[in-house]
Structure 1
């Protein structure tokens, strides 16, 4: 595992305006300093095919580094719809969310709704409400595609955050937002673009897997398919950065001198047992021209604009 020669000049601020409007498993706000340090100093269009909470996207937008545009995607249709509604109809969404109540009976009434029977704004309001009021803020669907997390009983879950929603809406203007598989990215990414992959992580043990935020999961075959795509994009001249666990499978997939791997420590908060939460090693993997930047023995210090 090679160490990077890149340094940061001064402290990195992550309080930069727009921020995620949903809580999502594996959210990256706490890791923004490490992620920002590993990005190329310049790039063209930005792509994020496992957008989740979109922490890195919102950070880059706040820093004014997305002047060439961005494409966000995810396989989860409810999440993609929420992003599109926040971008295009945020004021209507705020009005609808303002009618919701933090009450257990109301929660289960909303949870029981079939999203496909709702209009886009109602669907987005449902997702944002359930995301903030469900137990542990965990989005999970069963095999039938039904949201099945119980009520959280939080006294003030703040599911309506007008300022955050409006800031996110401004940040999403002009951004392409699509539902689709990460494999579709091969048709979109061009040389000198930046792609950030944040897939469901490979489990560290057989009982540690968390891949059920959307139907279908993300198994070993999908991890290997992603690894092959990362190499193809890198060979095409695309800057690629990947986040994943430190599982032996990931070292096996991404081993080799053509890629760059760094280990970071991250806090894991999603576990039903508090004693199983805490700092764990995760990996950042680079491909393409970004590899040479990160391996430069005397990379030029730069300051990230806050």
Structure 2
């Protein structure tokens, strides 16, 4: 009997580049059966929260993001109370007051619940739900001026907390390669790295972490993909459909699918709308 999934277990964050619109493809092409599920670039969590697999590892280099997942798991009621406070205080002044925590030592004096509430509040009220930091690792997204931002989504926060607590979900914060160390034959790993830029030059290879995610990181990811392939894992990766990505994954061309996706966050108008993305696999999805 197929497992019944809870439709309310879904992302509690807005996330640029989130995978909600690719979920149909991912569900169609994923392996029918697998042991452990690993997501080394979890972001807003659309995929793992949709799969709701019992034995899951999620990881992200963004420590603020991972802290938010841990607080939702461990302290959801305290988090909701703080979000209600921020909701009542919501204004441009309140936003910039909280944003400035990392421009002083104030953020180091806050506990993890306060940090998570700040992170979620800034995410829901900042421009386009972006997470972006400057060269000093300071959050620098401007206020979004939404009429009714969904700051306190109690129902979703509680059901996600229940899912994280009633299933074997391991939450990590670190390098994507480190997150796959426990991967074994029969495990399913989905990679959603910062995408290769549509305009292919080095200055555009920038991720959402302070260190960015350049060409060398894309090569390192491809090398890991090949290593895990040899280990017998089921692998899937989404990325932009660029010459660089097609060259890096040329040996997986027969199990690469091109899909259209809406890209809503781009500084240039011609980067919005339908763009081609690829889903690369190391197995024949026709056999799944």
| TM-score w.r.t. length of structure 1 | 0.85
Report SS of the residue matched to 2:85: coil
Give yes or no for the alignment of 1:226 onto 2:209.
Answer: no
Q: Which residue of 1 aligns with 2:147?
A: 155
Give yes or no for the alignment of 1:82 onto 2:68.
Answer: yes
Which of 114, 120, 125 aligns to 1:122? It is: 114
Which of 260, 278, 287 aligns to 1:265? It is: 260
Instruction: Quote the Cα distance in structure 1 between the aligned partners of 2:244 and 2:200.
Output: 12
| 8 A Cα contact 2:252 2:280, kept in partner | no
Report SS of the residue matched to 1:42: coil
Aligned runs of 1:155-304 on 2, under 5 Å? 155-173=147-165, 174-206=168-200, 209=204, 211-257=206-252, 260-274=255-269, 276-287=271-282, 291-292=283-284, 294-296=285-287
Say if 1:201 and 1:17 are closer, same or farther in 2 by CA, change over 3 A: same
Give yes or no for the alignment of 1:41 onto 2:32.
Answer: yes
Per-residue deviation at 1:267? 0.5
Structure with a larger share of its residues in helix? 2
Which of 95, 98, 105 aligns to 1:107? It is: 95
| 8 A Cα contact 1:142 1:212, kept in partner | no
| TM-score w.r.t. length of structure 2 | 0.91
Per-residue deviation at 1:271? 2.0
What is the Cα-based RMSD across aligned positions, in Å? 2.0
1:1-33: CA deviation from partner (whole Å, max 9, x where unpaired): xxxxxxxxxxxxx98221111111210011100
Give yes or no for the alignment of 1:29 onto 2:16.
Answer: no
| 8 A Cα contact 1:52 1:74, kept in partner | yes
Which of 119, 125, 135 aligns to 1:133? It is: 125
Per-residue deviation at 1:295? 4.4
Say if 1:165 and 1:186 are closer, same or farther in 2 by CA, change over 3 A: closer
| 8 A Cα contact 2:205 2:215, kept in partner | no
| 8 A Cα contact 1:198 1:244, kept in partner | yes
Say if 1:259 and 1:46 are closer, same or farther in 2 by CA, change over 3 A: farther
The one of the two structures with greater contact order (alpha-carbon pairs below 8 A, sep at least 6) is: 1
Per-residue deviation at 1:150? 0.8
Moved more, 253-262 or 24-33: 253-262
Per-residue deviation at 1:276? 3.6
Point out where structure 2 has 5 or more consecutive residues left out of the alignment: none
How many residues align? The count is: 276
Instruction: Quote the Cα distance in structure 1 between the aligned partners of 2:6 and 2:56.
Output: 21
Report SS of the residue matched to 2:277: strand
Instruction: Quote the Cα distance in structure 1 between the aligned partners of 2:92 and 2:204.
Output: 29
Report SS of the residue matched to 1:98: helix
Instruction: Quote the Cα distance in structure 1 between the aligned partners of 2:153 and 2:205.
Output: 28
1:177-229: CA deviation from partner (whole Å, max 9, x where unpaired): 01011111342111101100000000010479473421111000000000010
Point out where structure 1 has 5 or more consecutive residues left out of the alignment: 1-13, 300-306
| 8 A Cα contact 1:140 1:147, kept in partner | yes
Instruction: Quote the Cα distance in structure 2 between the aligned partners of 1:15 and 1:264.
Output: 27
Moved more, 242-251 or 169-178: 169-178
